[in-house]
Structure 1
Amino acid sequence: MGRAEAITYSGPTYVAIRSDKHSSSTVSTHAVDFNQLATLNNFKEIMRDEGCLKPVVLISSDGEPDENPRYPKVISHEIHHFVKHDLDAIFIFTNAPGRSAFNRVERRIAPLSRELSGLILPHDSYGSHLDEQGRTKDHDLEKINFQKAGKVLAEVWDNMVIDGHDVVAEYVEPDDSSESFIPDLPSPQ
């Protein structure tokens, strides 16, 4: 308490690599990612105390619909986290528009992007899923080609260290089951 050096933007980084075409970024996928973070050893020190999730959670969001703290689906998922993890408080905050330089996530994008310089991820590891016009003709082949590229990308990022902290990257299989779970918004009572 009271130590300025205790406040930092540094810490471990988690990257969930998903195909936006096959499983987009939603409040439900963010909830799955939050639960994944709570289980990772790299995040144990900053997220857990004596085996339990620390009682106060701060979430920085860009305010887009899948993260905006004013939307009922976001509120329902956060209430679910609050109850499930026996939290004392959850704070969700956003930066004002045009202030992306202060967004903690965007501060991680530069070093992650730098690692991709010169990296070529083939789109057809298992054969081309595209027709002559570049349109998808084989959706199953498209998914496994993306999976291969996603796993290569995860391997590159998983071997990184940013500010002395590990990066944990993993390819996440397309899965609609997270979309089927949207907690009910409790009544105000």
Structure 2
Amino acid sequence: MESTLLCASSRFASSQCYEKAGAFGSNFQGSFSGKLQYKNSLFTKNNGTVSRRRAVISSVLGRKVQKETVIPDPDYRIPIVLLGAAGGFVYVDNLAAAVPIGLLGLLLLVQATRVRFVFDKQALEVKIGDELQDSGENAFVGGKNRWKYSSFVNWELWWPTFPILVYFKETQTKPEGQIHFFPVIFNGKQLYDVMVERCGPSKNSGPKEV
């Protein structure tokens, strides 16, 4: 599993163990990449020049913006479960398990507050913060953290009832295909719906093609 779980994070904060602590893995080559009062930067063309204007958009997460962009809501369930499990291990005096699980939960909590999946008309892009700042180049596999839907070979959401990981494989980064894994620190239903809409049905998760 390749790189990018760590990718957004390592760029965002210095170690990729979906920014300020990174994301998991790297043979877990995934891309990590995850305030309803929201400031968004819009770009418009005026006489051939691009001018930047800011618009305050209320409650836009998980909704369509400019009829083209979808940003799933953040979801804190996985971080909360991990932090709760760490607390349980502390209670039974098992620090060896409590420390790594607690750190992972903390890191995913931070990620969920800052990392955004932005689905525009043509591509999925990882952005940072309420200002949707550029996440920069992928530190592990190179290239921008932006992938055109047309390059997607397959994607899956594990598991639809309580999603933990989202996976996709794309051929934009390298022709033979690049695999990405992200922890689901976004609203799972919104993420699933937009992936189906923009990328087509997944091979296993559905919806099944008739």
- Which structure dedicates a bigger proportion of its chain to strand? 2
If asked which structure has higher relative contact order (CA below 8 Å, sep 6+), I would say 1
Give the number of the structure whose alpha-carbon radius of gyration is greater: 1
TM-score higher than 0.5? no
**Where on the TM-score scale, by shorter chain, does this alignment land: which range?**
under 0.3
- Which structure dedicates a bigger proportion of its chain to helix? 1
